[in-house]
Chains A and B, each alone.
Chain A
Amino acid sequence: MGRPWHTFRVGRLLLIAIVAAWLVSSGSLSRSAQNSALDLEGNPADPLKMAAGRVVVLVFVRTDCPISNRYAPTVQRLSAAHAGKAVFWLVYPSKAESAESIRKHEREFGYKLPALRDPQRVLVKESQVQITPEVAVFDAARRLVYHGRIDNLYEDIGRARSAATTHELEDAIAATLSGRTLSAGTAPAVGCYISDLE
């Protein structure tokens, strides 16, 4: 923390503390596969670094979580609707899930998003998520602006509405894109506990 190159990279004094906090959790330039998310080829991948100034949405999913799977069409639709402005990534926070089983899962559910494995829970921690499906929205300065449910389709496990009436993810993306501060706090996600996973 506090190494000189931090400040010039961001260039805005107000953001230093947040960037520094991120560096604590995600390591330094020398970080290895041990403390990074991985792409499906097994290479370390940092979706926030690759965002090139765009808003980043991380969607935490699990292959065998029915609520997570039921959201596939919604996630796909939202990512297409925000193409060019927000970059969506699927994140599988499981040690056990292989790249092959993730590809199969993406095919089956019609996902056309890049996917990452996060066996070390690097992105999980950075996003402060606990559930699948849960989303995290980062602004262009890689500040976490929202994490929680996608919408309120599920009130609780086993208690679903016929259609969602609030749309937290869309609201968070819209607010971030327009530079507004998000007024609503975190809306807890409903689904499967990430901590149950190996």
Chain B
Amino acid sequence: MTRASQALSGFIALLALASVGFAARHATSRRQANPQPATAAREVTFNRDVAPIVFHNCALCHHPGEAGPFPLLTYADVKSHARQIAFVTDKRIMPPWLPDPGELKFTDELRLSDEQIATLQAWVDQGMLEGSAADLPAKPTFSAGWQLGKPDVIVRAEKPYVLPASGSDSYWNFVFRNPVNRSHWLKAIEIRPGDKRLVHHANILVDREESGRRLEKEPGAGFGGMELIIESEAFDPDSHFLFWKPGSPPYVEPDGMALRLEKNTDLVLNTHFQPSGKPEPIQPTLGLYFTDKPATLHPILIQLDNDRLLDIPPGEKNFLVSDDFTLPVDATILAIYPHAHYLGKDLLALATFPDGTKKTLIHISHWDLNWQAVYRYEDPPLLPKGTTISMRFTYDNSADNVRNPNQPPKRVVAGNRASDEMAHLWLQVLPSESADSSVDPRREIQEALALHHIQNNPDDFEAHYNLAALLQMRGNLSGALLQFSEAVRIRPEDPIANNALGAVLLASGQVEGAIPHLKTALASRPDYFDAHYNLGNALASKGDFGGALTHFRAAVRLNPQDANAEANLGSALAETGNLKEARLHFERALQIDPKNELARENLEQLNRETQGHPN
């Protein structure tokens, strides 16, 4: 007697990782009204006083091939933009650096001191003297090629995206299909977005479920959209910010924090462009750098948000969105990424320690989506268990906010489009090891987060889904059942939630309950391998081998490299008496995976049963 495998596949969690935004930076000068007398009195020259400031703070972007629209490498370069430089530095428009100065320092801070700004101003006021050649520091040198040397793998977007000459900002996503054909530890990705003058920033999302591909009108074409939701296997450590902004060198993960990149995984590059005045074809390239040092430290991304309360009346100038999350374990904050769109005004994150003391994690009092960034702490702060992280974001939905995409203003709610808003605060935290080895601190955080989000919003689909997946991982099938049911209640047609609910029902022996959900999953997504596989199993377990056959055949067609699907197809064929074809599929399963037990057992059984009856 053959049997159908009870192996279930495809438990998937949704981790929504968004990327973009836009907003207002009211350029106010923080320079003191009177430049320091020392500066004013002294003769200011380019070679001695200005070049060190410009070379160190501006040239990173303002050199050929980089994002700056003109180079700032010589006296002539700087002189031909001198008044402009004095103006934009005085208003702190340049260099672009959003966080207010605070107790916690970030790496690669691009902030001019008041004295440096006064020096630039004085240089212009005094007539832009060049000064003595002997004073000129060495011109900075930049390598035009890969900043980290030759990458281990280079992948290029299949097709360029042509940025229109005019219009408002553009958001485009490029899908890099299967950049690796076996598992690697990744220590860095260098993003070469194409013409860097056009790209405001870019984010990479790891996509194991072909979520991005499904949004492409034709393969390789990419797709539009500001924010992305990528389906992700439950809690694989994707908890790295893969972020690019102009002038930032590629970030190399420290030893022990490499990112695992498997085969059959796509990378999706989410990019934000501003039109230049002419059509611009953009075809980004990624350079992947591997390491043989596997991950030993496992950070996790925490997302604070309160989308349900993000409902801003037109004309409202100070709309507050807040969220508070209390850490269930000790954790160190490595990096922080506040995110809002065009109405965002003042973005603040605070930590309140168990003893009541408070620390500002980041404060951006003049938010500007254009210059959003991931900020990494120079000395990552340790937050003890019981510390509450608070998000306090304010929004300006009045006509006075020139970046308001709706003129006249209208009601704005949470959403993924540029004309919607977001209030998200991501933190990359490294949970401290627990003394109790049975406690996985990452899972503690995930579960607390899911519960937190459900408390904020009982209709939070992702939170119910993620909590279900966590409970399932802990073996709590009834809890998982309840949470997957909630996810299906919220999105009755959702293929992933229906498949997951069907799979859990199947695993709990509720075959009749499972079948309608698996059918719904397939109605929503006819080419869904996991749902075909699970429905095949469901039908087989109630004896409908003909029905099972149809779905196992579909599964094998969709994923010819899955040994279990082949073995189950063989089993269903054997049950319907087609032993000859069954044998082919058992053999095929063993070709794919020589250790596949189901195929081996069934093939052995087939050999015994057909001895003397070679059909």
Contact, CB under 8 Å: B82 / A196: yes
The winner among B24, B83, B96, B405 for most chain A CB atoms within 10 A is: B83
A109 to B279, CA, bound (A): 8
85-111 of chain A: CB within 8 A of chain B: 96, 108-110
Instruction: Say if the beta carbon of A73 comes within 8 Å of chain B.
Output: yes
**Which residues of chain A come closer than 8 Å to B169, judged between CB atoms?**
162
Which listed residue (A69, A73, A96, A195) contacts B83, Cβ 8 A?
Answer: A195
Instruction: Say if the beta carbon of A198 comes within 8 Å of chain B.
Output: yes
Interface code B172-211, partner A: CB below 8 Å = 1, 0 otherwise?
A: 0000000000000000000000000100000000000000
- With A110-B165, A196-B80: A157-B402 Cβ-Cβ less than 8 Å: no
Contact, CB under 8 Å: B276 / A70: yes
The winner among A71, A160, A198 for most chain B CB atoms within 10 A is: A160
The winner among A66, A156, A158, A192 for most chain B CB atoms within 10 A is: A158
158-198 of chain A: CB within 8 A of chain B: 158-163, 165, 192-193, 195-198
Contact, CB under 8 Å: A159 / B69: no
Contact, CB under 8 Å: A162 / B27: no
> How many Cβ-Cβ contacts under 8 Å join chain A to chain B?
85
Contact, CB under 8 Å: B275 / A70: yes
Instruction: Say if the beta carbon of A19 comes within 8 Å of chain B.
Output: no
Chain B interface size range: 35 or more
Q: How far is the CB of B101 from chain A (nearest CB, A)?
A: 20
Contact, CB under 8 Å: A73 / B370: no
**Which residues of chain A come closer than 8 Å to B83, judged between CB atoms?**
193, 195-196
- With A66-B197, A165-B407: A71-B27 Cβ-Cβ less than 8 Å: no
Instruction: Say if the beta carbon of B368 comes within 8 Å of chain A.
Output: yes
Contact, CB under 8 Å: B166 / A70: yes
**Which residues of chain A come closer than 8 Å to B82, judged between CB atoms?**
196
Please name the residue on chain B nearest to A96 by beta carbon.
B80
Which listed residue (A69, A158, A198) contacts B93, Cβ 8 A?
Answer: A158
Instruction: Say if the beta carbon of A65 comes within 8 Å of chain B.
Output: yes
Chain B interface SS verdict (over half): loop
- With A66-B69, A159-B403, A165-B407: A72-B80 Cβ-Cβ less than 8 Å: no
Contact, CB under 8 Å: B276 / A69: yes
**Which residues of chain A come closer than 8 Å to B76, judged between CB atoms?**
198
**Which residues of chain A come closer than 8 Å to B438, judged between CB atoms?**
none
Contact, CB under 8 Å: B165 / A161: no
Please name the residue on chain B nearest to A156 by beta carbon.
B27
**Which residues of chain A come closer than 8 Å to B403, judged between CB atoms?**
159-162
Contact, CB under 8 Å: A72 / B165: yes
Contact, CB under 8 Å: A157 / B88: yes
A157 to B25, CA, bound (A): 10
What residues of chain B have their CB less than 8 Å away from a CB belonging to chain A? 24-27, 69-70, 76, 79-84, 87-88, 91, 93-94, 96, 165-166, 168-169, 197, 274-278, 342, 368, 370, 402-403, 405, 407, 418
- Top 3 A-B pairs ranked by shortest CB distance? A73-B166, A72-B277, A69-B277
Subset of 28 A-B contacts with CB under 8 Å: A64-B70, A65-B69, A66-B197, A72-B166, A73-B166, A73-B277, A96-B80, A109-B165, A156-B93, A157-B91, A158-B25, A158-B27, A158-B88, A158-B93, A158-B94, A158-B96, A159-B26, A159-B27, A159-B402, A160-B403, A161-B407, A162-B168, A162-B405, A193-B83, A195-B83, A196-B80, A196-B83, A196-B84
What residues of chain A have their CB less than 8 Å away from a CB belonging to chain B? 64-66, 69-74, 96, 108-110, 155-163, 165, 192-193, 195-198
With contacts A70-B275, A157-B88 known, what are 14 further pairs, Cβ within 8 A?
A69-B277, A69-B278, A72-B278, A109-B278, A156-B93, A157-B84, A157-B91, A158-B88, A159-B25, A161-B403, A192-B81, A193-B83, A196-B81, A196-B83
